[in-house]
Amino acid sequence: MNETGLSEEEIQNILNYAKNRDLTYERVLSSMCTYPHKIAVQAHIQFMESNMGDFGLFRGTYDLERKVIRALGDLLHYQEASGYMTTGGTESNIQAVRSMRNLFNKKSDKYIRPNLVVPDSAHFSFDKISDILNIELRKASLEDDLKVSIRSVNSLIDENTMGIVAIAGSTEFGQVDPIEKLSIIALKHNIFLHVDAAFGGYVLPFLEDIHEFDFNLSGVTSIAIDPHKMGLSTIPSGVLLFRNPEQLENLKADTPYLTVSTQYTLTGTRSGAAVAATYAVMNFLGKEGYRKIVAQCMDKTKYLLKKMEHLNVEPLIEPVMNVVSLDVPSADLVREKLAIDFNWQVSITQNPHGLRLVIMPHVTFEMIDSFVDDLEQVLLSI
Ligand SMILES: Cc1ncc(COP(=O)(O)O)c(C=O)c1O
């Protein structure tokens, strides 16, 4: 840090330089985030200093958080769900598993290292969780359609299994696991079932096709859903919902020197700005608004696939949501060439290997046209 500060103008120049080096979303087809909605940005700025870690000072923001939790509980078919706003899917997943582990450990006097059965398609946050919480991660294999294999899940469960994770919108393929069946398995073994709907939570309820993935299924005990992805809120906005208040309660920590005496959260200081932003955009758009946005994303997804037919490029699976995986030869090289020659940001899928595109609200038909032209060139050149 300099001894004396810089002028506002100097700072602004530095910031402008940094901002110019950032990519804009105009050529980004790899991200599950997008431009937040204008109304979310305004609310975020208005509540910038609000700290939900000490919400006794920010009662108004806290009320907004309670309303967000209630609205999402309602959307996901359990209005009484308890929970709180996290920094995103990773934190929601950590806390869901931490709660399972605590409740599992309470059942026995002697220490048992519990295991958690997750689909092979689970987000890498679960690898972090295994490390942080010292739990064994058992990865269940996938069927050809890239949904988790029920047979594999069943074969991995034993007396030390505390729960199962299901994915409602996998990061790589946007696939939804057979959660109805997983719910039955969880009930049968009396274990937890956490649904990672970080991406799909704001998509599935607004699609024409019905997918059972939420608290409607009685075995589902917790859900992660991210407003900072398809919810069009600002970063950092995640939400964790529990069916049973006991699941939240066991995360309690005493906070003697704050205005409130307990915290249930992983982080201490928390963004009230993200809470206000999420409240604002959800109430501005309503279900009708999200339905429209999801329908537009799906129209563009179909448009992209139609154009791919002309290039003889097939999807690896028929997209369930606005995540597309494409069967192209030498996907790594294609990705690299798209970036270097045409400035496109796309990502890849691991298994099966392919090109991955997320058709977020910032993706336009013109972007798709231009991308397909460039992809054609790349495919001809390799
Ligand atoms: C299914 C799923 N879960 C969890 C996460 C992690 O979310 P975050 O990066 O907000 O922590 C992601 C991120 O893409 C995801 O797709």
Q: What is the 3-state secondary structure (H, E, C) of 81-138?
A: CEEEEECCHHHHHHHHHHHHHHHHHHCCCCCCCCEEEEECCCCCHHHHHHHHHCCEEE
Kindly state if the Cβ of 88 falls inside 6 Å of ligand 1: yes
CA of 9 to the centre of ligand 1 (A): 37
According to the model, what pLDDT value does residue 173 have? 98
- Residue 237 to residue 252: CA distance in whole angstroms: 21
From atom 7 of ligand 1, which residue's Cα is the shortest distance away? 89
List the 314-315 sheet strands across, edge first: 314-315, 323-327, 354-358, 347-349
According to the model, what pLDDT value does residue 141 have? 98
Q: Which of 199, 202, 204, 266 to mutate to test the pocket of ligand 1 (most atoms within 8 A of CB)?
A: 199
Kindly state if the Cβ of 198 falls inside 6 Å of ligand 1: yes
Cβ neighbourhood burial of 284 (10 Å; 0-12, 13-18, 19+)? middle
Q: What is the pLDDT along the chain (382 residues), one digit of tens a residue?
A: 999 999 999 999 999 999 999 999 999 999 999 999 999 999 999 999 999 999 999 999 999 999 999 999 999 999 999 999 999 999 999 999 999 999 999 988 888 999 999 999 999 999 999 999 999 999 999 999 999 999 999 999 999 999 999 999 999 999 999 999 999 999 999 999 999 999 999 999 999 999 999 999 999 999 999 999 999 999 999 999 999 999 999 999 999 888 988 999 999 999 999 999 999 999 999 999 999 999 999 999 999 999 999 999 999 999 999 999 999 999 999 999 999 999 999 999 999 999 999 999 999 999 999 999 999 999 999 8
According to the model, what pLDDT value does residue 42 have? 98
Kindly state if the Cβ of 237 falls inside 6 Å of ligand 1: no
CA of 27 to the centre of ligand 1 (A): 21
CA of 155 to the centre of ligand 1 (A): 27
Q: How many CB atoms lie within 10 A of CB 371?
A: 20
Is the peptide bond preceding residue 256 cis, with omega within 30 degrees of 0? no
Q: How many CB atoms lie within 10 A of CB 53?
A: 17
In what helix (H) or strand (E) does residue 84 lie, and over which residues does it extend?
strand 82-86
Question: Which atom of ligand 1 sits closest to the CA of residue 228?
Answer: 10
What are the contacts of 312-316 at 24+ separation with CB within 8 A?
A: 313/375, 313/379, 316/146, 316/173, 316/349, 316/352, 316/354
Secondary structure letter of residue 35 according to DSSP = P
What tokens were used for 353?
Answer: 């290997």
Question: Which atom of ligand 1 sits closest to the CA of residue 238?
Answer: 10
Kindly state if the Cβ of 196 falls inside 6 Å of ligand 1: yes
Question: Is 164 in a helix, a strand, or coil?
Answer: strand
- Residue 371 to residue 211: CA distance in whole angstroms: 31
Contact 372, 359 (CB under 8 A): no
Q: Which of 120, 177, 194, 226 to mutate to test the pocket of ligand 1 (most atoms within 8 A of CB)?
A: 226
In what helix (H) or strand (E) does residue 32 lie, and over which residues does it extend?
none
Q: Which of 123, 167, 325 to mutate to test the pocket of ligand 1 (most atoms within 8 A of CB)?
A: 123
Give one DSSP letter per residue of 260-289, joined into a string.
Answer: SSEE--SSSS-BHHHHHHHHHHHHHHHHHH
Domains of the chain with CATH codes: 8-36+286-381 (3.90.1150.10), 38-283 (3.40.640.10)
CA of 107 to the centre of ligand 1 (A): 30
Residue type, 316: L
